[in-house]
Amino acid sequence: MRGGKLIKVTLEVEGCVIKCARICGDFFLYPEDAIECIERALEGARLDSDFERIIAEEVERSGAQLLGFSVEDLCVAVRLAFQSRLR
Amino acid sequence: MAWRFLDTGEGDAYWNMALDEAILTLRIDGRVPATLRVYTWRPSAVSIGYFQSLEEEVDLEACRALGVDVVRRITGGGAVYHECGGELTYTFVASEEELKARRFFADIQGSYEVICGALVKGLRRLGINAEFRPVNDIVVNGRKISGNAQTRRRGVILQHGTILLKTDIPTMFRVLRVSREKVSDKAVKAVEDRVTTIFREVSSSVTLDDVKESLRKGFAEHFGVEFVASTPTQVELDLASEYRKRFSSWDWVARR
């Protein structure tokens, strides 16, 4: 990531739908438990879903602040993880 | 009002993290003043960031074999190998309000810069040409000497971090999975090029007490406040004992 941090997204996918999402890495997010909200918000999303909107809305809803990465970075990581599951 | 300086000496990983959180809780409640704590780790330990995957970051078998504890922090950031006798860890807890009254910052990145500024002043007292490097590092001539991480709750900031005195790179490679290139000379050299220590920058004659005192003075100068040497309160110790159970539980350590 541009902030020098690592994000790793692991997805459980059934059909084309995310069943479970796990976001790991050495980034900073405040408050920390917002990560679980973001993970939950991704459940039920499909490959063609607007991840950026889903994540941005959840970030705003939980009042989360990101450091060392951006919503866009996280979207890229989710998309890559999704594509690797479908391969 | 004077702020507090706590030298809590050696502790195990779970106690160290528990006492940090106890200070944070009690600062939120207004029951303790802003605090700078310094401490070391016995036995050596790995701490991983709140968001990190235990399995991906730590070689648990190697840790067991070497008697190295593993703990998950309440702060984000990366995995750190805390070598017993090889580093000093500090924790600084203060409300945003009292910090901003002394050194203004506009955002989270700014708060790292302000608090790390105090560390930089401390290190400069030892003759080290330290500077802050965003997001959360302190470097000397581009080499990292200190990594830092924050959590924030109800208007109070806890920032903790390590200051390297020396490094045991082979052990670090064994317990952390950060580099899979084995313990090659090249890999060791790569870390040596990116990381530095107090012993390397000044001399191995610098003592832990020298570093602690420099930090205390650096923080005092930076924030214009006296840091009065103290000990944890009984309430803090009791709360830390309670928190320690969570930090040492497998549920917490392996939650990601």
**Tally of CB atoms within 10 A around B203:** 10
- What is the reported pTM? 0.94
ipTM of the complex: 0.93
Pick from B53, B74, B135: CB nearest A67: B135
Residues B222, B121: contact at Cβ < 8 Å? yes
- Tokens 């919503």 locate to A71
CA torsion sign for B17, B172, B67, B87 is negative
Instruction: Tell me the domain boundaries of chain A.
Output: 7-86
Do B152 and A8 make contact, defined as CB atoms within 8 angstroms? no
Residue in B closest to A29 by C-alpha: B76
Spell out which residues of chain A touch residue B56, defining contact as CB-CB under 8 Å: 8, 24
Per-residue pLDDT of chain B (256 residues; tens, 9 = 90+): 689 999 999 999 999 999 999 999 999 999 999 999 999 999 999 999 999 999 999 999 999 999 999 999 999 999 999 999 999 999 999 999 999 999 999 999 999 999 999 999 999 999 999 999 999 999 999 999 999 999 999 999 999 999 999 988 889 889 999 645 444 666 667 777 889 999 999 988 999 999 999 999 999 999 999 999 999 999 999 999 999 999 999 999 999 9
CA distances to B19, B70, B175 from B67, rounded to whole Å, are 22, 10, 10
When divided into structural domains, chain B yields a total of: 1
B69: CATH: 3.30.930.10
Domain A7-86: CATH superfamily, name plus number: CO dehydrogenase flavoprotein, C-terminal domain (3.30.390.50)
Residue B124's domain comprises 3-253
